[in-house]
Chains A and B, each alone.
Chain A
Amino acid sequence: MSEFVAGISVVCFAASYLVALACEASRLLFRSGIRGAAMVAFGAAGLVAHTLFLGWRAAHEPAVPLSSPFDWYLLAAWLLAGGYLWATVANPRTPVGLFLLPVVLGLIAAAEGSSRVPFPQSPATQAWGAVHGVFNLAASVAVAVGGTAGVMWLIQAGRLTRKRAVTPGLRLPSLEKLAGTIASTIPLAATTAAAGFASGLVLNAVNRRHGLLETVPWSDPVIIRLGGLVVWLVVAALVARGVRHRPGAARTTAWLAVASLACLTASILWGILVPSRHGPPRQGAAQQGEAPRPPATGETAVGGAS
């Protein structure tokens, strides 16, 4: 059994999600009696493999479980994949996967482009590190859910504005439901992102004061991009709150949610492409069985969204 679990790779669950996405896309082309079952089967198979993969890594990592950028992205993807499966079982006629699965696959791709080495930690700041990671994870998932709901809102509103009947295979949730999802995710994303950023600053300050680990300079790209993302999310939440009683408020918040998802995507790409002192080195020494080490200046490093 353990050999089987150890043999599960990222490709296994990414391929399952990809097939589920292909099934979702085929709704637009033709009808099928077995597609719904196939979608759930592939989505569930992917989620099971994903869970076993993360569980295996958590059990066999030398440092705090799932604390590398690689694991962080895969955890975010796992949460969204679970959400996809729940939504598909609850509303089999709604093609949620068409919008959510690309985000899941994007996060898996980001994981593949990230280091598998856990973030450097010291026992004194471990709790702050966990808080930092969990809040950033919650913020990213909230932005992803809100953004996909925003895209669906705009497509549904476009159909209603053009006065077109429902396209077979593309029966989206109502504007009311989508607007409700967006309205709850925008403030959640802003709050958790701000908390994640603040806890990261505290973590860095504690490390700096006690000289525990190599600290991140305040002008480091990761601090700039995450700070910018937090500012955007807070502004978006304030704007959404300010216009909520105005006619057409739902359209404004839908655009804000989509823009937030675009900002998060840009932030992740920046994190992967631009060198930073935050986090472990790009090349996974842990993959080779080496112990984690602090990053060196100029190395390609990522912090995910953290």
Chain B
Amino acid sequence: MTLAFAGGTHRTVPIDLREQLAFSAEQAADALRRFRDRFPGREVVLLSTCNRVELYAAGGDTAAAPTPGQIVSFLAECRGIDERILFPVLAGDRDEAVVRHLFSVASGLDSMVLGEPQILAQVKQAWALAQNSRTSGPLTGDLFQAALRTAKRVARETALGRERLSIPSLAVNDFARGVFERFDDKRVLVLGAGKMARETLRYLREAGVRDVVVLNRTPQRAATLAAELGGRAGRMDDLVGELAGADLVVSTTGASVPVVTLEAHRRAQPQRGGRPLVVLDLAVPRDFDPRIGDQPGVWLYAIDDLAAACESNRRSRQRQVPAAVAIVEEEARRFMGDLHHRSTAPVIEQLRAGWSETGDAELERLFRRLPHLDDAARAEIRQAFERYAAKLLHPPLKSLRSASHAGPPHGLLDALKRLFDLED
């Protein structure tokens, strides 16, 4: 049983080449079918995401998996790319390294954003596509099931992927949700309409925000944005009034001086009735006078504060890597042990069959010599023979299983074949 993979990621393959190499779902299904025709008797799974294209192949006892070089040539042919361009940027490996690599990929350890969880769904999809295309089999099935199990273990036992790394997600989930329990009764004031504000508003909508007010220097622009964001347009000259009514402000104007001064805030504050105010100031330069953050009841977060928290989370994820790698190593060793043990199955089967045949012959001879034995006695004797055979077989089978964890037990298998005159 052999495994092989070849492919490339954002680390080695330039984006323009990645775009050419990427497979759509239909193209992937077509590639799988072509692979089956080209390499009959082998199993294959193709993983294609925006950051990686990797083909995993497996071969049985009669037909070994193609080499990584053959896989690169196959990928080049499928995508119509000169293979001389692909060979320097694609990598490949065989057997245990394939297992370790796939387990790392599924766990997010090989992703552009360390620990990102989307890759797990993409691995599942790739395997499902192979199943639908009937190019997967028992070996790739076990391999991908073990990869999914490993990824779940990494997610469960480490904090890898738990902390948020994007500024809008962190701003809403770690800060705004820290202040507010619910958002369906809160008013969000959007100042300006940068890309970051739209992204932040997407998370706020998911949190339940319904009441959105958009302010912009140009009323027409404010109206357009309000329609786009599902809110109402306000007037910039009523900034103090809108501040008084808002619970959360997302600010991304391109103004060169603070849009909300300390004085403006002080004028709005008495009308707020003591309600807390969360300000996500995502603009550079800042839209809010930083002294507003020192006022009671105000939670002001500038872009640098949020970026620093994201960086802290990134470092925290890095600290989880050794624990995650240890899980991947442990699972890879376990998988390879099981795989090697599986390769001993034909020899064990022959051994059992041989012993069973001999035992049956001896029993028949015994029963002929002792015709007075009734059925119950015969059954007892038969069971005793079977137990005896099983006990004799137990030590060599145990040794085989132990040896499988260290690698293919070729020496023991050869010894068994020679000792018991088994066929190759």
- Where the two chains meet, the residues of A that have a C-beta atom closer than 8 Å to any C-beta of B are 30-33, 156, 159-161, 163-166, 168, 172-177, 180, 243-251
Contact = CB atoms under 8 A, between A and B. Distances in A.
Q: Which of A32, A166, A243 has the most chain B CB within a 10 Å cutoff?
A: A166
Contacts of B308: 163
Q: Which of A156, A168, A172, A180 has the most chain B CB within a 10 Å cutoff?
A: A168
B158 A31 contact: yes
Interface in B278-329: 295-299, 301, 305-306, 308-310, 312-313, 316
A174 B180 contact: yes
Nearest to A244: B274
Contacts of A175: 178-180, 276
Given A31-B158, A165-B163, A247 B179 contact: no
Contacts of A246: 274, 296
B170 interface: yes
Q: Closest 5 interchain pairs by CB?
A: A248-B296, A247-B297, A176-B181, A177-B181, A174-B181
A164 B157 contact: no
26 contacts: A31-B156, A31-B159, A33-B156, A160-B178, A160-B179, A163-B301, A163-B308, A164-B309, A165-B164, A165-B309, A166-B174, A172-B178, A174-B179, A175-B178, A176-B179, A180-B181, A246-B274, A246-B296, A247-B269, A247-B272, A247-B295, A247-B296, A248-B274, A249-B274, A250-B276, A251-B296
Contacts of B174: 165-166
A21 B306 CA distance: 33
Nearest to B176: A174
Nearest to A247: B297
Contacts of A33: 156-157
B229 to A, nearest CB: 24
A174 B163 CA distance: 18
B297 A164 contact: no
Contact of B162 (A163, A168, A243, A247): A168
A245 B274 contact: yes
B269 A176 contact: no
A165 B312 contact: yes
B180 A248 contact: no
Contacts of B385: none
Contacts of B178: 156, 159-160, 166, 172, 174-175
Contacts of A172: 178
Nearest to B269: A247
B323 to A, nearest CB: 9
A240 B158 CA distance: 43
Contacts of A243: 274
Contacts of A245: 273-274
A166 B177 CA distance: 10
Nearest to B313: A165
A173 B181 contact: yes
A246 B276 CA distance: 10
A31 B163 CA distance: 13
A240 B1 CA distance: 74
Q: Which of B296, B310, B316 has the most chain A CB within a 10 Å cutoff?
A: B296
B200 to A, nearest CB: 16
A247 B182 CA distance: 20
Nearest to B300: A163
Contacts of B296: 246-248, 251
B299 to A, nearest CB: 6
B91 to A, nearest CB: 32
Contacts of A173: 181
B329 to A, nearest CB: 19
A215 B272 CA distance: 53
Contacts of A168: 159, 162-163, 316
B160 to A, nearest CB: 10
Nearest to A168: B159
Interface string B160-199: 0011100000100111011111100000000000000000
Nearest to B277: A247
A160 B159 contact: no
A264 B206 CA distance: 42
A283 B1 CA distance: 77
B297 A160 contact: no
Nearest to B308: A163
Nearest to B312: A165
A305 B119 CA distance: 58
Given A174-B178, A176-B179, 6 more contacts: A160-B175, A160-B178, A165-B309, A245-B274, A246-B274, A248-B296
Contacts of A244: 274
A160 to B, nearest CB: 5
A160 B299 CA distance: 7
Nearest to A164: B309
Nearest to B163: A165
A160 B280 CA distance: 13
B309 A163 contact: yes
A20 B295 CA distance: 40
Q: Which of A165, A172, A243, A244 has the most chain B CB within a 10 Å cutoff?
A: A165
Nearest to B186: A176
Contacts of B159: 31, 168
A148 to B, nearest CB: 17
Nearest to B177: A174
Nearest to B159: A168
Contacts of B313: 165
A240 to B, nearest CB: 12
Contacts of A251: 296
A174 to B, nearest CB: 4
A30 B164 CA distance: 18
A254 to B, nearest CB: 13
A209 B127 CA distance: 87
A251 B308 CA distance: 26
Contacts of B179: 160, 174-176
Nearest to A159: B178
A173 B403 CA distance: 53
B304 to A, nearest CB: 9
A167 to B, nearest CB: 9
B7 to A, nearest CB: 31
Nearest to A34: B156
B177 A163 contact: no
